[in-house]
Structure 1
Amino acid sequence: MLVFEFKAYGKQQQFSAIDEAIKTVQFIRNKALRFWMDNEKVNKFDLNKYSAILAKEFPFCNELNSMARQSSAERAWSAITRFYDNCKKKVPGKKGFPQFQKNNRSVEYKTSGWKLANDRKSISFTDQKGIGKLKLKGTRDLHFYQITQIKRVRLVKRADGHYVQFCIQVDRSENIEITGNSIGLDVGLKEFYTDSNGVAVENPRFIRKGERRLKKSQRRVSKRVKGSKNRGKARVILGKRHLKISRQRKDFAVKLARYVIQSNDCVAYEDLRIKNMVKNHCLAKSINDASWYMFRIWMEYFGKVFGRITIAVSPNGTSQECSNCGTIVKKSLSTRTHVCSCGCVMDRDWNAARNILSRGLSTVGHTGTWGNTLNACGELTATDVEVILHRQVDS
């Protein structure tokens, strides 16, 4: 599944109609969730039927396309199934009970309710919300794909305007030459990662560099009166600041992941639990700013596209174990140099990267580069491309 995004251009009344459609989606999603809470043994099809009942009961729901209403109900069901799965897997802590949505920013159409122009430079929405024809501006060319391959069309509202996303069903695969290289990666906060060859990539620290402007924009929002137009303008400026940092992170992760995958036939990396690591309030901001999880997701994606092997291994003890002789050398987090009795002296992260590579190469039962990957401890790690693409909408 590919997601192409275009900037939408139109009149102010069209954008107001898009905002109204987004509010309708949030209303249907929350009503479907309440219907599930109040009734027993409710399934996905019951929520789809309930969306049709809401259309008869509320005129503004009837103005939205029928498939868009079904997509809204499916969003509620997605949160419900995620809660059920966490309960079955006995995930420690909170299981993620579905919550009512307060700030929805997208509306999703399926195969009806929209019509793409022949020149692929504009799109018209044919439901009764009054969105009409929107001009599209972007770098992607939709002429390479058939209309039947477009399975979803999303209207997304962001701080700098409205966007149109096309979800195209196609299997992407590219053939590149074999390099014969294998690499292990140890991510960190000082350097973004250090590989098993001793090469370190600098951590860009985007939020640290833009923190001064963020704080200034936040102070402006705080000083404005709630509900005033000036406060609304200040919020838009603050949103643009955060959006720029988010885009910088994604651009850095995508380009670096593509380079790493194309330069190596096998890539081993740590199977980190970021959710647990950010519980340390002293390091939470720096860990989130590094965006290790996004880097890993794109490495796995490009591993599938280019036919490379990606292996997630357990990080336990990789910094303590000597990569030369295997001796355990205890060291605190502040100790940045690995010194072993065998005479091995090197940077702590370099030593860990070498251990990660050796564990990855010795993994038994590796089954693929995407979806099902066995780490060094025999645990199954999975990444669902549909979930990641859905999260991109609100990122």
Structure 2
Amino acid sequence: MKRSKDTFNRFVKGDLNGKRSGKPRFKSVRRYRTFSIPQLKPGCLTVTANPHRRKNGSARRDIAYINLPKVGQVKLIYHRPIPERFTIKAALVSHKADGWYITLTLEDKSVPSLKPPEIEATEENSLGLDVGLGRGEAFALTTCATNRSLNSANASPLQTASDGEIEPIQQHYRNSEAKLARLANRKDGKPNKSASRRKLAKKISKHHQKLQRKRKQFHYESATKLVSRDEQVFFVENIKPGNLSRKNKPKQDENGKYLPNGQSAKSGLNKSINDAGWGQFLSILAYKAAKAGKSVVKVKPHDTSQVCSCCNRFEEKDLSVRIHECLCGLIMDRDWNAAINIKRVGSCILPTIKRRKRSRKAATKEAYTVP
């Protein structure tokens, strides 16, 4: 009830900034997959030891029940014990493909609030990170006045560090597209509202849930690997993946006929962006860094891949150009060059690069040095 009221208030009055949301649509009971319980009574969770033993003699999992308002006693799998002195304040019940889950919010007033650490970034204790999708090549870095020895190690990086280290991306959805297409074709061939159709739909949902969990596990492993390094400050791109994966605006002529707008090519890029999960990775990295006493700083990524990290020369290049080649002799991977520039912008070595207006004649203009 509260969620519906808040939705209508945002539609009529708007939020704190005055922005109004769209008109809320009707949602049936089947469409509500989560409901929140803002307050639980003390002692709502009861845990008793399981008297039965396994065949090898080991103890079984404890038997636990939770008392939910207007629902009653619900049995749950008590897989993680609640720490001492913590009290249960709220709960979030969600329905997923493989069953029901409950998330408990705990509170301990003796625990101080976490404050972000204040660390002064230097050349030695900082690292720049550039997230990407394209095919990357690692090169041996030498002086910018000489030619590079190309030591290519082909990979598709999720993130490239300013020291040249890359983390290969795990395209979970791309690797499972064929299997999901076969299951969808089988489901479409079944009669509507039949039991076999529902079983296949549930199977597809479980497979999507498996991909989601594999992606999240990969992000946690990548963030842990970064946090375990000696660097204390991580400079990342301040990006919004939701805006990057938007559809192109339709184009119409004078007669109202729709013209090609490049959405066919953009759809594949949007799919890869959503499969990479940049937003989830950066949020997990910020959480892991704060837990380890380190900090994550977001910087503006405008044209960081267009500026040379050696001589500050700006030269516009297309997204398909994956190698950065400058007149000063610097030849390196595009994402590596961007990661170095991100670190320079975050360390105030290079001023924030302002976004330039794109024009058709921009490619013919001579390159110039960033002031």
Tell me the TM-score normalized by structure 1. 0.65
Superposed CA deviations along residues 54-78 of structure 1, whole A, max 9, x for unmatched, are xxxxxxxxxxxxxxxxxxx146416
TM superposition shift of 1:346 = 0.8
Alignment of 1:22-171 (within 5 A): 29=1, 73-74=2-3, 76-77=5-6, 80-81=9-10, 88=17, 95-102=21-28, 103-112=31-40, 115-119=44-48, 121-125=63-67, 127-129=69-71, 131-138=72-79, 140-146=80-86, 148=87, 150-169=88-107
Over 3 Å counting, the alpha-carbon distance change for 1:282 and 1:124 in structure 2 is closer
1:282 & 1:250 partners in 2: Cα distance?
21
Paired with 1:98 and 1:312, the residues of 2 have a C-alpha distance of 34
Distance 1:283 1:156, change over 3 A: same
Whether 1:329 and 2:315 are equivalent positions in the alignment is yes
Structure 2 unaligned segments of length 5 or more: list them: 49-61, 135-156, 247-265, 355-371
**Distance in structure 1 (CA, Å) of the matches to 2:208 and 2:311:** 47
Kept after mapping to 2: 8 A contact 1:194/1:349: yes
Give the SS at the match of 1:117. Answer: strand
Q: Which amino acid aligns with 2:125?
A: N
Match of 1:257 in 2: 223
Output the CA distance in 1 between the equivalents of 2:68 and 2:334: 60
**Structure 1 equivalent of residue 54 of structure 2:** none
Please state if 1:229 is matched with 2:187: no
Distance 1:318 1:82 in 2: 39
Partner of 2:164: 198
Structure 1 CA distance for aligned equivalents of residues 128 and 165 of structure 2: 11
Look up the SS of the partner of 2:313 in the other structure: coil
The equivalent residue for 2:368 is none
Could you list the per-position Cα deviations for residues 185-213 of structure 1 after superposition, in whole angstroms to 9, with x for gaps in the alignment?
11111311111011111110000111122
SS at match of 2:209: helix
* Letter of the 2:295 counterpart: I
Matches within 5 A, 1:220-299: 220-263=186-229, 264-279=231-246, 280-299=266-285
Following TM superposition, by how much is the alpha carbon of 1:295 offset from its aligned partner in structure 2, in angstroms?
A: 0.7
Aligned to 1:307: 293
1:184 counterpart letter in structure 2: G
* 8 A Cα contact 1:83 1:96, kept in partner: no
Q: How much has 1:183 moved relative to structure 2?
A: 0.8
CA displacement 1:131-172 (0-9 Å, x = unmatched):
53303142x2214352x2x22122221111112211223568
Deviations 1:208-267 (A, max 9, x none): 111122112212221222222222211111110110011111111122123323422010
CA contact (8 A) 1:80 1:97 kept: no
Cα pair distance change 1:99/1:313, threshold 3 Å: farther
Report matched runs for 1:325-364 at 5 Å: 325-362=311-348
CA distance in 2, matches of 1:83, 1:195: 46
Does 119-128 or 209-218 show the bigger shift? 119-128
1:320 equivalent among 303, 306, 329: 306
In structure 2, the partner of 1:45 is none
Is the 1:363–1:376 contact (alpha carbons within 8 Å) kept by the matching residues of 2?
A: no
Q: Indicate yes or no: 2:133 matched with 1:189.
A: yes
Residue 96 of structure 1: CA displacement?
4.3
- RMSD of aligned Cα (Å): 3.2
Q: Structure 1: how far apart are the matches of 2:162 and 2:236? A: 10
Measure, in 2, the Cα distance between the counterparts of 1:197 and 1:256. 16
- Could you tell me how far apart the structure 1 residues matched to 2:32 and 2:235 are? 37
**AA at the equivalent of 1:115:** C
Q: Greater shift after overlay, 179-188 or 270-279?
A: 179-188
Provide the C-alpha distance between the structure 1 equivalents of 2:161 and 2:37, rounded to a whole number of angstroms: 43
SS in 1 for 2:314: coil
Helix, strand or coil: the match of 2:268?
A: coil
1: distance between equivalents of 2:4 and 2:292? 32
Q: For the Cα contact (< 8 Å) 2:7–2:24, is it kept in 1?
A: no
1:342 to partner: Cα distance:
1.3
Tell me: CA distance 1:85–1:358, structure 2 relative to 1, closer, same or farther (3 Å): farther
Q: Which amino acid aligns with 1:168?
A: L
CA distance in 1, matches of 2:311, 2:330: 9
Gapped regions of structure 1 (runs ≥ 5): 1-28, 30-72, 365-374, 379-395
**Percent of aligned positions with the same letter in both sequences?**
28
C-alpha distance in 2 between matches for 1:82 and 1:252: 38
Does the residue aligned with 1:281 lie in a helix, a strand or coil? helix
Structure 2 residue 156 is the aligned partner of structure 1 residue 214: no
Distance change in 2, residues 1:126/1:196 (3 Å): closer
Change (3 A) 1:226 1:211: same
> What is the SS of the residue equivalent to 1:283?
helix
SS at match of 1:141: coil
CA–CA distance in structure 1, aligned partners of residues 295 and 68 of structure 2: 45
Structure 2 length as normaliser, TM-score?
Answer: 0.69
Paired with 1:213 and 1:127, the residues of 2 have a C-alpha distance of: 42
2:204 is matched by which residue type in structure 1?
L
